[in-house]
Amino acid sequence: MKKLLVVFAIGAFAACNSSASTESKVDSSASAAKDSITNTADSAKTAIDSTATAAKDSIKAKVDSVKK
């Protein structure tokens, strides 16, 4: 029984010792999806900003023409 316990302890120590990994594992498809979503959001923000600026300028021009 003592021999079995020693073998089990050595096996557990070896298993725990080899589990340390400094390697970072990243799913490439998850990274690609995140980049795609970020690019889409940036494109949408740019489009919304340009549309809002154009609308603001149009309203400002109408107000200025009414004032004159």
57 lies in some domain = yes
| Cα–Cα distance for residue pair 55/49, rounded to 1 Å | 10
Q: Per residue in 31-66, pLDDT tens?
A: 777 788 888 888 888 888 888 888 888 888 888 888
In a domain, 61, yes or no: yes
Q: Assign residue 10 a region: left if phi > 0, alpha if psi is -120 to 50, beta otherwise?
A: alpha
45 in a structural domain: yes
Dump pLDDT digits (tens) for 21-38.
555 566 677 777 778 888
Between CA 13 and CA 19 the distance in angstroms is 10
Q: 20 falls in which pLDDT band (50, 70, 90)?
A: low
43: in domain: yes
For residue 52, give its domain range. 28-68
Q: Cα separation of 22 and 31, whole Å?
A: 20
